[in-house]
Amino acid sequence: MNMNVASIKEKKIVKYKSCFDVIGPIMIGPSSSHTAGALAIGTVANRLFQGLPKKVVVKYYESFAETHKGHGTDFAIIAGILGFAADDSKV
């Protein structure tokens, strides 16, 4: 079999329901990308914990480290851990 044909057959086709599945939610805050991304990280952590943890230690890297306080990243991560949704007005 031609190598190119085999490579094409192995690739997965991803189908998105809307452009917002790619872009993500637009959220309130100085930087919706930092807020939405941090909330998503917190949400994943919530699922991994399978409930609320007794203690959380968050370390920021790259752009989060430089801007987490000003962009609301710290609040968004905690909101995700607490189970808040991206469209919740409290976030």
The residue extents of the domains of the chain are 3-81
Among the listed residues 84, 83, 1, 68, the one whose alpha carbon sits nearest the alpha carbon of residue 35: 68
Q: How many Cβ atoms from other residues are within 10 Å of residue 80's Cβ?
A: 24
Amino acid making up residue 53: P
Of residues 35 and 2, which shows the higher confidence score? 35
Residues 4-31, mean pLDDT to the nearest whole number: 59
pLDDT of the residue at 14: 60
pLDDT of the residue at 81: 93
- Give me the chain's average pLDDT, please: 76
Among the listed residues 19, 36, 17, the one whose alpha carbon sits nearest the alpha carbon of residue 87: 36
At CA 27, angle to CA 81 and CA 47, rounded to 5? Answer: 20
Query: pLDDT tens digit string along 47-63?
Result: 998 878 889 898 888 87
